Amino acid sequence: MGIFDRLRKRRLAKAPAEIRDYFNKAAADEEHYPSTIDPRIWHVKLVLEHLGDLTGKRAADIGCGKGRFARIVKERFPTAQVAAVDLAEAMLSHAPPNLQRIAASMTGLPLATESMDAAYATESLEHAVDIPKAVQELARIVKPGGRIVIIDKSAEAWGRLETPEWERWFGRKELEGLLARHTRRVWSQPISYWEDVPPDGLFLAWFAEK
């Protein structure tokens, strides 16, 4: 193993702690890390549309931040059990108490195999140090027939925003391939914040059925 490989290995080994500290501090920044989201935003509508009727079912928001998406899922489906999972405890402290709040890494979810009817990750997979493992975990917790949504930034748009050193953006085929290892049907599409605004290349949405 060369010097650069050793340095990279050390950096990745300490990355989860760095990421946790980063987001625990960022929890105080409501402007850039808000507790709520406009339900009219296309990201929200796509998640709700793909997950379907969650009445009496279980769903997991992986990398939920302050629970802004999970809050809407719970409002739409009051009898659903919604697990809000995030690495940063300070972020989770802002999530509504009617959610199942869980402090954990995306690469080691403390949720039983095939225990969820649906799972989604919105702008959170980009912060997972081990992307294949995080996708595997996301799929592991979902029941056969369950649905998965990932919304994140396109690798083709890399450089448009300032990012921490660990952050990664994805190509369409890259995540389609990772999801296809664990699910039976996968597709993706470019999206924007608003349904009536043409996508500008920044965001992609991936959908899967297990």
**What are the sequence ranges of the domains in the chain?**
3-209
Give the Cβ contact number of residue 8 at 10 Å.
12
Cα 89–chain centre separation: 16
pTM: 0.92
CATH code 3.40.50.150 for 3-209: yes
What is the pLDDT at residue 129? 87
What 54-59 contacts at long range (C-beta under 8 Å, 24+ apart), as own/partner pairs, is: 54/80, 54/117, 54/118, 55/79, 55/80, 56/80, 57/81, 57/117, 57/118, 58/82, 58/83, 58/115, 58/116, 58/117, 58/118, 59/83, 59/116, 59/117, 59/118, 59/119, 59/120
What is residue 43's predicted lDDT score, i.e. its pLDDT?
98
Strand ranges, E, within 12-141? 58-62, 81-86, 100-103, 116-122
Backbone Cα Rg of the chain: 16
pLDDT value, residue 165: 87
The pLDDT tens digits along the chain (210 residues) read 444 344 345 445 556 888 999 999 999 999 999 999 999 999 999 999 999 999 999 999 999 999 999 999 999 999 999 999 999 999 999 999 999 999 999 999 999 999 999 999 999 999 998 999 999 999 999 999 999 999 999 999 999 999 998 899 999 999 999 999 999 999 999 999 999 999 999 999 999 999
